Structure 1
């Protein structure tokens, strides 16, 4: 099994795609006006409209209602992007913090309220886990 993407359903595809494009620096790949992907080396962030999802699985998603998961993005330096990310997201949920498992993380919310964890491995163990230096 291989994780290919995380899909976020939204009522405003252009707004959410724009946020993730600015956050990641990735160019979106648009299939149509209701679906786009931002492809990373490991997986994609897929963004689709509720209407598109409802065509195939009616009422299976509820945009802007996530209270259970985080989207986690490994980046080179959390502290270097702190101010720009805070401005883009309209504030931080958590300031850059070194966590007990060796990642330095900051948390923000996207425009639909989904929590995004930007993190940088800072201990040798965490760097080895993610192949980072």
Structure 2
């Protein structure tokens, strides 16, 4: 019996639906240095913004009717150079710090924060 070949894996791009695209874009660009690489449409009211963070991408979609602050079922985790240095920037950018950074037994320093929409975000760095 021969195995069925699997298709090659595709790239994964998390996309956040938000009622305030400008606010969320400012959070991720201000905190993590994300850079806009695409905007749809290019002129007029924007529907989609693609952000690039080193080799990764994050999409933001505008939907004024979406609710925020409800418990999320997804966690965005970002590897950063210095977790502690970023914590002071979270709240001025509209996010929430859920507690201090902690060294985890698996060798990572982790801070739990929320973006301005209430989405769970982890900032991580190797210990």
Interval containing the TM-score (normalised by the shorter chain): 0.7 to 0.9
Query: Does the 8 A contact of 1:8 with 1:48 survive in 2?
Result: yes
SS at 1:94 equivalent: coil
Q: Find 2:63's aligned residue among 41, 44, 50.
A: 50
What's the RMSD between the two structures over aligned residues? Answer: 2.1
Q: Which structure's residues are more often helix, by fraction?
A: 1
Counterpart selection for 2:40 from 31, 39, 49: 31
Whether the 8 Å contact between 1:3 and 1:43 is mirrored in structure 2 is no
Which structure has the larger Rg? 2
Question: Which of structures 1 and 2 has the larger relative contact order (alpha carbons within 8 angstroms, sep 6+)?
Answer: 2
The match for 1:16 is 24
TM-score, reference length from structure 2: 0.76
The unaligned stretches of length 5 or more in structure 2 are 1-8
Q: Is 1:119 aligned to 2:124, yes or no?
A: yes
Number of equivalenced pairs = 113
Unaligned runs of 5+ in 1: 52-61, 123-133
TM-score normalised by structure 1 residue count: 0.73
